[in-house]
């Protein structure tokens, strides 16, 4: 197949993402060559708009219903497109997904050969490194984009507890548990952040169990139907949250359309060493942009200067000063 077709596919998906950090370059083309066959790539050229209905795709392609459904399902099985009913008309729409995190997550966690997953992990890591280089070379321009008032698309869910030692103490999970209680469909998937680091030979230093990502509602059903996750009960989901807290992970809620006024569709349990959002911050790719309603407090009278909170804080907002823990409220995420 012509190299121009792959270039067009990369440009279409990068444009649909709306993210200036992504580039339709050789690395991005390599990603789609790894994920797609030629027939799928040619089909994606019909997505001149990032969202299309079945009727519009049928009109554009001239395909029979059965063949079109088969093609769409094959692309959903690879995590390239996502089907979602329109909120007003309830007509099913097919959305072209962003390279990271949308395509990245299902493409890594879906069952497949280890060699293919290792190849994908290296490609995604290179995409992030190229994003870092782009930001650092054009720092003033890029920082001005980040300084604009952009709504946060994730929020921190508090564990609502003091740091308790010894660490085997079971911690409460009130807020995250409330999210679980709201949904009947819950899916559990392998954490793509931890899995990517494992594939790159740098396994997680915080948590032992890699299955820590929860998905809800329509997204949860989609993850289950296309082989990215397994269904679990509310009780099992709460057990995941308890184990995540015992490992010192951060509960991070993602919302539909990246809009905090809409329902949650994912609850991640994040660590500093693997989480792609934390890593983007520490690698100099993007600021840490999230919403929290809580700020941690340190009780100087009780503080013994052990440094446990300094070690555990994923955003490095705590420092020992004169043997006492002090919190930087400007960095704290709760």
Residues 71 and 184 in one domain: no
Could you report the per-residue pLDDT of 63-84, keeping only the tens digit for each? 999 999 999 999 999 999 999 9
Same domain, 105 and 175: no
Which residues is 154 bridged to in the sheet? 254
Amino acid 171: pLDDT:
29
Q: What is the CATH number of the domain that holds 329?
A: 3.30.70.20
The answer to which of 35-39, 195-199, 256-260, 269-273 has the lowest mean pLDDT is 256-260
Same domain, residue pair 268 and 207: yes
Q: Are residues 244 and 308 in the same domain?
A: no
Residue 176 sits in the same domain as residue 188? yes
Q: In this structure, are 131 and 11 located in the same domain?
A: yes
pLDDT, average across residues 19-26:
92
CATH number for the domain harbouring residue 92? 1.10.10
Q: In the prediction, which pLDDT does 65 show?
A: 98
Same-domain check for residues 71 and 180? no
CA–CA gap between residue 199 and residue 179 (Å, rounded): 31
**Residue found by looking up tokens 């083309």 in the block:** 29
Domain boundary residue, one of 143, 177, 212: 143
Same domain, 300 and 285: no
| Alpha helix stretches (DSSP H) within the chain | 3-17, 26-35, 38-44, 54-61, 65-77, 104-109, 114-137, 139-147, 174-181, 192-199, 217-225, 234-246, 276-282, 308-312
Token reading at 50: 């990032």
Q: At what angle do helices 26-35 and 3-17 cross, to 10 degrees?
A: 100
pLDDT number for residue 168: 20
Both 57 and 41 in one domain: the answer is: yes
Q: How many structural domains compose the chain? A: 3
Q: Which two tokens stand for residue 12?
A: 């279409």
Given a cut of 70, whether residue 289 has pLDDT beyond it is no
Whether 195 and 259 map to the same domain: the answer is yes
DSSP summary character for residue 102: I
- Give the structural domain span for 114: 3-143
Q: 318-321 and 51-53: which strand pairing?
A: unpaired
Q: What is the rounded distance in angstroms from the CA atom of residue 324 to the CA atom of residue 11?
A: 52
- Given 97, 124, 143, the domain boundary residue is 143
Q: Dump pLDDT digits (tens) for 26-63.
A: 999 999 999 999 999 999 999 999 999 999 999 999 99
Give 222-252 pLDDT, tens digit per residue: 999 999 999 999 999 999 999 998 888 888 8
Query: Is pLDDT above 70 for 148?
Result: no
203 and 319 part of one domain: no
Average pLDDT along the chain: 87
Buried b (16+ CB within 10 A) or exposed e, 75-92: bbebbbbbbeeeeeeeee
Q: Would you say the pTM of this structure is higher than 0.95? A: no
Is residue 169's pLDDT more than 50? no
Given pLDDT bands bounded at 50, 70 and 90, which one contains residue 167?
very low
Answer yes or no: is pLDDT of 164 > 90. no
2 pLDDT exceeds 50?
Answer: yes
Residues 136, 158 within the same domain: no
């Amino acid at each position: 197949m012509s190299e121009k077709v792959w270039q067009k596919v990369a440009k279409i998906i990068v444009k649909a993402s709306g993210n200036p950090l992504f580039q339709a370059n050789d690395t991005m083309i390599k990603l789609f060559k790894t994920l797609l066959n030629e027939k799928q790539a040619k089909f994606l050229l019909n997505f001149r708009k990032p969202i299309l209905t079945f009727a519009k795709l049928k009109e554009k392609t001239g395909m029979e219903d059965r063949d079109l459904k088969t093609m769409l399902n094959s692309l959903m099985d690879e995590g390239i497109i996502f089907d979602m009913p329109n909120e007003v008309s309830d007509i099913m729409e097919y959305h072209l997904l962003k390279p990271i995190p949308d395509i990245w997550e299902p493409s890594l966690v879906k069952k497949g050969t280890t060699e293919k997953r290792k190849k994908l992990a290296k490609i995604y890591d290179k995409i992030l490194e190229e994003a870092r280089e782009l930001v650092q070379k054009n720092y003033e321009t890029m920082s001005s984009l980040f300084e604009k008032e952009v709504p946060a698309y994730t929020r921190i869910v508090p564990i609502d507890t003091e740091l308790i030692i010894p660490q085997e103490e079971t911690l409460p999970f009130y807020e995250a548990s409330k999210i679980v209680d709201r949904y009947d469909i819950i899916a559990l998937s392998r954490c793509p952040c931890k899995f990517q680091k494992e594939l790159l030979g740098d396994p997680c230093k915080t948590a032992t169990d890699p299955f820590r990502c929860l998905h809800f509602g329509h997204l949860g059903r989609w993850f289950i139907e296309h082989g990215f996750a397994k269904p679990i009960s509310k009780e099992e989901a709460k057990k995941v949250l308890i184990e995540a807290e015992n490992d010192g992970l951060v509960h991070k809620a993602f919302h539909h359309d990246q809009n905090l006024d809409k329902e949650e569709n994912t609850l991640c349990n994040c660590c500093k060493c693997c989480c792609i959002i934390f890593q983007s911050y520490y690698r100099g790719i993007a600021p840490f942009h999230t919403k929290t309603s809580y700020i941690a407090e340190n009780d100087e009278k009780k503080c013994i200067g052990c440094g446990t909170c300094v070690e555990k804080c994923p955003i490095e907002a705590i420092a020992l000063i004169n043997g006492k823990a002090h919190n930087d409220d400007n960095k704290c995420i709760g």
